[in-house]
A and B are shown apart, each in its own frame.
Chain A
Amino acid sequence: EVQLVESGGGLVQPGRSLRLSCTASGFTFGDYAMSWVRQAPGKGLEWVGFIRSKAYGGTTEYAASVKGRFTISRDDSKSIAYLQMNSLKTEDTAVYYCAKYSGSYYYFDYWGQGTLVTVSS
Protein backbone atom coordinates (compact mmCIF):
# COMPACT_ATOMS: atom_id res chain seq x y z
CA GLU A 1 0.00 0.00 0.00
CA VAL A 2 1.36 3.37 -1.03
CA GLN A 3 1.69 5.81 1.85
CA LEU A 4 2.96 9.38 1.90
CA VAL A 5 3.41 11.05 5.27
CA GLU A 6 4.26 14.74 5.53
CA SER A 7 5.86 16.31 8.56
CA GLY A 8 7.54 19.53 9.62
CA GLY A 9 4.67 21.98 9.44
CA GLY A 10 3.93 24.56 12.08
CA LEU A 11 3.83 28.25 12.92
CA VAL A 12 6.67 30.37 11.57
CA GLN A 13 7.29 34.10 11.39
CA PRO A 14 7.47 35.94 8.08
CA GLY A 15 10.94 35.89 6.59
CA ARG A 16 11.94 32.70 8.39
CA SER A 17 12.52 29.22 6.99
CA LEU A 18 10.92 25.82 7.38
CA ARG A 19 11.64 22.39 5.94
CA LEU A 20 8.92 19.87 5.22
CA SER A 21 9.51 16.16 4.77
CA CYS A 22 7.51 13.55 2.89
CA THR A 23 8.25 9.96 3.89
CA ALA A 24 7.11 7.41 1.32
CA SER A 25 6.46 3.70 1.48
CA GLY A 26 4.79 0.99 -0.55
CA PHE A 27 6.54 1.72 -3.84
CA THR A 28 10.04 2.10 -5.28
CA PHE A 29 10.49 5.75 -4.37
CA GLY A 30 13.50 6.38 -6.56
CA ASP A 31 11.59 5.46 -9.71
CA TYR A 32 9.05 8.27 -9.47
CA ALA A 33 8.87 12.03 -9.71
CA MET A 34 7.44 13.67 -6.59
CA SER A 35 5.61 16.93 -6.16
CA TRP A 36 4.36 19.39 -3.57
CA VAL A 37 0.90 20.94 -3.85
CA ARG A 38 -0.54 23.46 -1.42
CA GLN A 39 -3.98 24.65 -0.44
CA ALA A 40 -4.53 27.94 1.35
CA PRO A 41 -7.36 27.92 3.91
CA GLY A 42 -10.70 27.68 2.14
CA LYS A 43 -9.05 27.87 -1.29
CA GLY A 44 -8.21 25.59 -4.18
CA LEU A 45 -5.14 23.57 -5.05
CA GLU A 46 -1.89 25.16 -6.19
CA TRP A 47 1.01 23.20 -7.63
CA VAL A 48 4.24 24.27 -5.90
CA GLY A 49 6.92 22.27 -7.67
CA PHE A 50 8.35 18.85 -8.33
CA ILE A 51 11.51 16.82 -8.58
CA ARG A 52 12.18 14.27 -11.27
CA SER A 53 13.58 10.86 -10.56
CA LYS A 54 17.34 10.35 -10.80
CA ALA A 55 16.77 8.51 -14.06
CA TYR A 56 15.59 11.83 -15.50
CA GLY A 57 18.30 13.85 -13.89
CA GLY A 58 16.64 14.59 -10.55
CA THR A 59 15.97 18.10 -11.75
CA THR A 60 13.32 20.41 -10.36
CA GLU A 61 10.60 22.79 -11.54
CA TYR A 62 8.78 25.41 -9.49
CA ALA A 63 5.75 27.62 -9.63
CA ALA A 64 6.53 31.27 -10.25
CA SER A 65 5.11 32.17 -6.83
CA VAL A 66 7.82 30.20 -4.99
CA LYS A 67 10.73 30.13 -7.43
CA GLY A 68 13.93 31.32 -5.81
CA ARG A 69 12.52 30.82 -2.28
CA PHE A 70 11.56 27.12 -2.20
CA THR A 71 13.79 24.14 -2.98
CA ILE A 72 12.74 20.53 -3.45
CA SER A 73 15.19 17.70 -2.91
CA ARG A 74 15.07 13.96 -2.39
CA ASP A 75 16.92 11.23 -0.56
CA ASP A 76 16.14 8.01 -2.37
CA SER A 77 18.04 5.92 0.21
CA LYS A 78 15.52 7.05 2.82
CA SER A 79 12.49 7.41 0.51
CA ILE A 80 12.02 11.03 1.57
CA ALA A 81 11.24 14.14 -0.41
CA TYR A 82 11.90 17.56 1.11
CA LEU A 83 10.53 21.03 0.63
CA GLN A 84 12.85 23.73 1.94
CA MET A 85 10.93 26.98 2.28
CA ASN A 86 12.91 30.20 2.79
CA SER A 87 11.85 33.84 3.06
CA LEU A 88 8.35 32.77 3.98
CA LYS A 89 5.46 35.16 3.42
CA THR A 90 2.03 35.27 5.00
CA GLU A 91 0.57 34.19 1.67
CA ASP A 92 2.49 30.90 1.94
CA THR A 93 0.10 29.86 4.71
CA ALA A 94 -1.47 26.62 3.51
CA VAL A 95 -1.77 22.90 3.91
CA TYR A 96 1.14 21.40 2.00
CA TYR A 97 0.56 18.05 0.35
CA CYS A 98 3.17 15.69 -0.95
CA ALA A 99 1.97 13.88 -4.06
CA LYS A 100 3.33 11.07 -6.17
CA TYR A 101 3.20 11.28 -9.92
CA SER A 102 2.07 8.33 -11.95
CA GLY A 103 4.82 6.63 -13.84
CA SER A 104 3.66 7.67 -17.28
CA TYR A 105 2.21 11.15 -17.03
CA TYR A 106 2.21 14.04 -14.61
CA TYR A 107 -1.02 13.51 -12.77
CA PHE A 108 -1.06 12.62 -9.08
CA ASP A 109 -2.04 9.07 -8.25
CA TYR A 110 -1.35 9.29 -4.49
CA TRP A 111 -1.39 12.11 -1.97
CA GLY A 112 -0.25 12.49 1.61
CA GLN A 113 -2.58 13.78 4.32
CA GLY A 114 -0.95 17.19 4.32
CA THR A 115 0.82 19.35 6.87
CA LEU A 116 -0.26 22.86 7.84
CA VAL A 117 2.18 25.74 7.56
CA THR A 118 1.09 29.00 9.15
CA VAL A 119 3.18 32.09 8.46
CA SER A 120 2.33 34.79 10.96
CA SER A 121 3.98 37.21 13.33
Chain B
Amino acid sequence: EIVMTQSPATLSVSPGERATLSCRASQSVSSNLAWYQQKPGQAPRLLIYGASTRATGIPARFSGSGSGTEFTLTISSLQSEDFAVYYCQQYNNWPQTFGQGTKLEIK
Protein backbone atom coordinates (compact mmCIF):
# COMPACT_ATOMS: atom_id res chain seq x y z
CA GLU B 1 0.00 0.00 0.00
CA ILE B 2 1.31 3.44 -0.93
CA VAL B 3 1.57 5.79 2.05
CA MET B 4 0.82 9.44 1.39
CA THR B 5 2.37 11.91 3.82
CA GLN B 6 1.21 15.51 3.94
CA SER B 7 3.06 18.38 5.52
CA PRO B 8 2.66 20.40 7.53
CA ALA B 9 -0.22 19.03 9.59
CA THR B 10 -1.37 22.59 10.27
CA LEU B 11 -0.49 25.71 8.33
CA SER B 12 -1.27 29.20 9.63
CA VAL B 13 -1.41 31.86 6.93
CA SER B 14 -2.86 35.35 6.72
CA PRO B 15 -5.54 36.21 4.15
CA GLY B 16 -3.99 37.46 0.94
CA GLU B 17 -0.77 35.52 1.46
CA ARG B 18 0.41 32.41 -0.38
CA ALA B 19 0.01 28.91 1.04
CA THR B 20 2.10 25.94 -0.01
CA LEU B 21 1.01 22.44 0.98
CA SER B 22 3.10 19.33 0.37
CA CYS B 23 2.27 15.70 -0.29
CA ARG B 24 4.81 12.90 -0.57
CA ALA B 25 4.19 9.36 -1.78
CA SER B 26 6.12 6.35 -0.48
CA GLN B 27 6.67 5.25 -4.08
CA SER B 28 6.06 6.80 -7.46
CA VAL B 29 2.44 7.52 -8.38
CA SER B 30 3.35 9.18 -11.68
CA SER B 31 0.94 12.11 -12.07
CA ASN B 32 -2.03 10.19 -10.70
CA LEU B 33 -2.62 12.51 -7.79
CA ALA B 34 -5.66 14.55 -6.76
CA TRP B 35 -6.24 17.26 -4.18
CA TYR B 36 -9.49 17.78 -2.27
CA GLN B 37 -10.74 20.54 0.00
CA GLN B 38 -12.99 19.78 2.94
CA LYS B 39 -14.77 22.33 5.10
CA PRO B 40 -16.31 21.43 8.47
CA GLY B 41 -19.49 19.43 8.11
CA GLN B 42 -19.13 19.18 4.34
CA ALA B 43 -18.08 16.55 1.87
CA PRO B 44 -14.69 16.83 0.19
CA ARG B 45 -14.55 18.78 -3.06
CA LEU B 46 -12.22 17.99 -5.94
CA LEU B 47 -9.70 20.76 -6.62
CA ILE B 48 -6.94 19.24 -8.72
CA TYR B 49 -6.46 15.99 -10.65
CA GLY B 50 -3.61 14.68 -12.72
CA ALA B 51 -1.36 16.53 -10.25
CA SER B 52 -1.87 19.88 -11.97
CA THR B 53 -5.26 20.13 -13.72
CA ARG B 54 -7.86 22.25 -12.00
CA ALA B 55 -11.32 20.73 -11.71
CA THR B 56 -14.31 22.50 -13.18
CA GLY B 57 -15.12 25.75 -11.41
CA ILE B 58 -11.95 25.85 -9.30
CA PRO B 59 -10.40 29.35 -9.15
CA ALA B 60 -7.06 29.99 -10.82
CA ARG B 61 -5.45 30.83 -7.46
CA PHE B 62 -5.30 27.06 -6.85
CA SER B 63 -2.45 25.30 -8.62
CA GLY B 64 -0.86 21.88 -8.36
CA SER B 65 2.55 20.65 -9.35
CA GLY B 66 4.84 17.67 -9.06
CA SER B 67 5.13 14.10 -10.27
CA GLY B 68 6.53 10.83 -9.04
CA THR B 69 6.68 11.14 -5.27
CA GLU B 70 6.65 14.87 -4.52
CA PHE B 71 3.62 17.10 -5.00
CA THR B 72 2.61 20.62 -4.06
CA LEU B 73 -0.68 22.48 -3.83
CA THR B 74 -0.29 26.25 -3.93
CA ILE B 75 -2.97 28.79 -3.15
CA SER B 76 -1.64 32.06 -4.45
CA SER B 77 -3.67 34.60 -2.46
CA LEU B 78 -5.74 33.16 0.33
CA GLN B 79 -9.37 34.08 0.56
CA SER B 80 -11.49 33.58 3.68
CA GLU B 81 -13.30 30.65 2.07
CA ASP B 82 -10.03 28.78 1.50
CA PHE B 83 -9.45 27.98 5.15
CA ALA B 84 -10.21 24.28 5.33
CA VAL B 85 -8.56 20.87 5.42
CA TYR B 86 -6.81 19.68 2.27
CA TYR B 87 -6.21 16.05 1.33
CA CYS B 88 -4.10 14.51 -1.39
CA GLN B 89 -5.05 11.15 -2.91
CA GLN B 90 -3.08 8.81 -5.14
CA TYR B 91 -4.96 6.75 -7.70
CA ASN B 92 -2.03 5.12 -9.41
CA ASN B 93 -2.15 1.90 -7.38
CA TRP B 94 -4.76 -0.09 -5.49
CA PRO B 95 -5.77 0.52 -2.83
CA GLN B 96 -6.22 4.21 -3.40
CA THR B 97 -4.84 6.08 -0.46
CA PHE B 98 -5.21 9.53 1.02
CA GLY B 99 -2.83 11.69 2.95
CA GLN B 100 -3.75 12.51 6.54
CA GLY B 101 -4.64 16.08 5.62
CA THR B 102 -3.30 19.59 6.13
CA LYS B 103 -5.42 22.02 8.08
CA LEU B 104 -5.10 25.53 6.69
CA GLU B 105 -6.00 28.03 9.37
CA ILE B 106 -6.17 31.78 9.62
CA LYS B 107 -3.12 33.40 11.14
Contact = CB atoms under 8 A, between A and B. Distances in A.
B95 A105 contact: no
Given A45-B87, A64-B95, 11 more contacts: A44-B99, A45-B89, A61-B94, A63-B95, A107-B32, A107-B46, A107-B89, A108-B36, A108-B46, A109-B49, A110-B46
B16 interface: no
Interface string B65-107: 0000000000000000000000101010011111111000000
Interface residues on A, range: 10 to 19
A14 B50 CA distance: 40
Contacts of B97: 47
Interface string A60-98: 010110000000000000000000000000000000010
Contacts of A46: 98
What does DSSP make chain B's interface, helix, strand, loop or mixed?
Answer: loop
Given A45-B87, A97-B43, A111-B44, A106 B100 contact: no
B39 to A, nearest CB: 12
Contacts of B34: 107-108
B100 A44 contact: yes
Contacts of A113: 42-43
A105 B19 CA distance: 27
Interface of A: 44-47, 61, 63-64, 97, 102, 105-114
Interface residues on B, range: 20 to 34
Contacts of B32: 105, 107
A44 B98 contact: yes
B46 A47 contact: no
14 contacts: A44-B87, A45-B36, A45-B87, A45-B89, A46-B98, A47-B95, A61-B94, A107-B34, A107-B89, A109-B49, A109-B55, A110-B46, A111-B44, A113-B42
